[in-house]
A and B are shown apart, each in its own frame.
Chain A
Amino acid sequence: MKFGTVDINPNGWNKWTFEQFKEFYDQSLKGKVTETPEEIAKVLGVPIPVKKKTEKSE
């Protein structure tokens, strides 16, 4: 799966936490791809943490 100049194996990413993926992104993909970590994680199937909506900023 091509992102920028990087070809990524699309398999097995659902076992990763988003923090692990973010670390991988920062060390291997940053500067080589235009997509954000969230965008790539979504395509690869990495679980992205959802912000809890218990607090409301007013």
Chain B
Amino acid sequence: MKTFRFSGNGQSKVFLTDIKGVIVEKKNTAQTFVQAKTAAGWSTLMNPATTAAISAIYLDLDRGLEPKSQAPEMTTSNTGFIEKTKDFPPQFVGNANISYEDYQTWFAADTQEFDFTLVLQNGDLISAATSAGLQKGFCGRLFLTFDIPKPGGAEKQKASPFDIIFDDVEEWKNYQIIKTDFTRKELEALTPAGINIEVITAYSGSTGVVVLKATKRATGEPYAGFTTYSQWEVVSLSTDTGGAATAIDVASAALGIYPVTFLNTTPKLTGDFEIQAVTIAASHVTYLSNVLNIPV
């Protein structure tokens, strides 16, 4: 695609800094390079005003990244001539600096396709570009590992591995380094804080009430911020044609306990449904729960 011309050598021989994070995006999420240079641009993807608009999350890979890329295929013909006959897209295992409960929220993403923008130690980005000149992550697949806890030592630090295999070497032939005006910690700060929700009392077929408990992820500290019905969003339904939170009792909110009524307009829900709770402050998602299946 690019014309090769000799282009000189700079005086500095500096290396590219290490990859220390990855932004996982919904497939084909694109923005202008100007937006991608700013934290505000990523804010519209990572912590917008609604859960439906969230299309990216930052994953800190401070626990280490192990490249698994294959070397290009070099073939020797029967005449003894050697040349490169194939390129392979990169792949790596990133050990995320997250809790096991954070890792559990990823289980449903196993084997799925995402776009990945890589974040360097200094906050700069390695990114692909679309034919329209927009910034886009590299298309790839995400694989998780379902394993028993590691007993200790260095393996313990690899408890949250993300195997990322990129799909298209062509995207890499034209990769861009985006010099950003933010640090990795600013991306981390944009990411909504994780809350865990769990069922305390099962869904009642007669009242439509399920008692839920919200705690700060991995610490168990009660979360008191889900006090309006609209913060409890129905993500999916299995048999009903509609469903939403109708009412919430906030008498025990300080303990993180919320009896929430979910109805299909008037009748009770008849099949399992999934919910997610969210806090939106100043037009940004600030706290976000796991997706929880409510058995009916």
A pairs with B: yes
Contacts A15-B265, A15-B266 known; A8 to B206 CB distance under 8 Å? Answer: no
Closest-CB distance, A22 to chain B (whole angstroms): 13
Contact A9 B265 (CB under 8 A): no
Q: Are B266 and A20 in contact (CB under 8 A)?
A: yes
Contact pattern, A 1-34, Cβ under 8 Å of B = 1, otherwise 0:
0000111110010011000100010011100100
Question: What sequence of 0s and 1s flags, for each residue 239-276 of chain B, a beta carbon within 8 Å of any chain A beta carbon?
Answer: 00000111111110000000001000110000000000
- Interface footprint category on B: 10 to 19
- Report whether A6 and B266 are in contact in the complex, using a CB–CB cutoff of 8 Å: no
The answer to whether B250 and A5 touch across the interface, beta carbons within 8 angstroms, is yes
Q: In the bound complex, do residue B246 and residue A8 qualify as a contact, i.e. CB atoms below 8 Å apart?
A: yes
Interface of A, helix, strand, loop or mixed by DSSP: mixed
Q: A9-B244, A27-B209 are in contact. Are A16 and B266 (CB under 8 A)?
A: yes
Among A6, A9, A16, point to the contact of B249 (Cβ < 8 A): A6
- Chain A interface residue number, banded: 10 to 19
- What's the least CB distance linking B277 to chain A, in Å? 13
In the docked arrangement, what's the CA distance between A51 and B74, Å?
90
In the complex the two chains form, what is the Cα distance from A1 to B79 in whole Å? 82
Shortest Cβ gap from B139 to chain A (Å): 40
Q: Are A5 and B265 in contact (CB under 8 A)?
A: no
- With known contacts A7-B227, A7-B247, A8-B247, A28–B266 Cβ distance under 8 A: no
Q: Does B207 contact A (CB under 8 A)?
A: yes
* B172 interface residue (CB < 8 Å to A): no
For A20, list chain B residues within 8 Å (CB).
Answer: 266
Inside 8 A of B209's CB, which chain A residues have their CB? 27-28
Please, which residues of chain A bring their CB within 8 A of the CB of B229?
7-9
Chain A residues near B266 (CB, 8 Å)? Answer: 15-16, 20
Per the bound structure, the CA–CA distance linking A12 and B245 in Å amounts to: 12
B248 near A6: Cβ-Cβ < 8 Å: yes
Contact call A9/B207, Cβ cutoff below 8 A = no
Contact of B208 among A8, A15, A28 (CB under 8 A): A28
A32 contacts B206, C-beta separation under 8 Å: no
B286: chain A residues within 8 A (beta carbon): none
Per the bound structure, the CA–CA distance linking A46 and B248 in Å amounts to: 19
B250 A9 Cβ-Cβ under 8 A = no
**Chain B positions within 8 Å of A16 at CB level:** 266
Q: Which residues of B contact A28 (CB under 8 A)?
A: 207-209, 247, 249, 261
> Closest residue to B258 on the A side, CB-wise?
A7
Q: What is the distance, in angstroms, from B152's C-beta to the closest C-beta of chain A?
A: 47
CA distance A27 to B227 in the complex (A): 20
In the docked arrangement, what's the CA distance between A28 and B246, Å?
10
Q: Are A7 and B265 in contact (CB under 8 A)?
A: no
Report the nearest B residue to A21, measured CB to CB: B266
* Cα distance, A9 to B229, chains bound together (Å): 6
> Complex Cα distance A40/B3, Å?
73
A20 to B265 Cα, complex, angstroms: 11
Say yes or no: B228 contacts A7, CB within 8 Å.
yes
**Residues A5 and B251 in contact, CB atoms below 8 Å apart:** yes
Question: Are the C-beta atoms of A9 and B251 separated by less than 8 Å?
Answer: no
Answer whether residue B236 sits at the interface, using C-beta atoms and an 8 A cutoff: no
Further 5 A-B residue pairs, CB within 8 A, beyond A16-B266, A28-B247: A5-B249, A12-B265, A15-B265, A28-B209, A28-B249
Give the interface of B toward A (CB within 8 A): 206-209, 227-230, 244-251, 261, 265-266
